[in-house]
């Protein structure tokens, strides 16, 4: 995935608007929109660092979608894992049972 795709995925996952990211980074909304419109415009290193810090991810993740040590984990998968970890033990057991049932019907 490209910088544009990874940035869009993180913004969607975190529910952050361009305006909010602009406020957190000091990067203009127009500049951020440019990064999201095309694969051919990637930010300067300083802007990449500001964006990564504001989103709580590494610059490498934004640029490549992963790191050397960590496999790429899509935002949707992280959401499922984070949500699962907030469930009660009974709810976790129910989710696991449901997933096993769904897998057996493939």
**What CATH number matches the domain at 1-68, 2.60.40.2230, 3.40.630.30, 1.10.260.40, 3.30.110.30?**
1.10.260.40
Can you list the residues of the chain whose pLDDT is less than 50? 68-70
Please give the angle made by the CA atoms of 36, 22 and 81, to the nearest 5 degrees: 70
Q: Cβ of 97: how many Cβ atoms within 10 Å?
A: 10
Q: Is 101 helix (H, G, I), strand (E, B) or coil?
A: helix
Eight-state DSSP code of residue 92: H
Contact of 32 with 91, CB cutoff 8 Å: no
Q: State the DSSP code for 49.
A: H
Residue 79, pLDDT score: 85
Q: Read off the pTM.
A: 0.62
CA Rg value for the chain: 17
Dump pLDDT digits (tens) for 49-67. 999 999 888 888 888 876 5
- Is the sign of the CA dihedral 84, 90, 95, 96 positive or negative? positive
């Amino acid at each position: 995935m490209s910088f544009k795709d990874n940035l869009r995925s993180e913004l969607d996952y975190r529910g952050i608007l361009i305006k909010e990211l602009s406020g957190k980074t000091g990067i203009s909304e127009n500049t951020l929109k440019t990064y999201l419109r095309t694969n051919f415009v990637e930010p300067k290193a300083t802007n990449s660092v500001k964006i990564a810090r504001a989103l709580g991810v590494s610059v490498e993740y934004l640029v490549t979608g992963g790191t050397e040590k960590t496999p790429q984990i899509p935002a949707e998968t992280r959401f499922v894992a984070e949500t699962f970890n907030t469930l009660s033990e009974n709810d976790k057991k129910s989710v696991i049972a449901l997933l096993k049932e769904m897998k057996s019907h493939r």
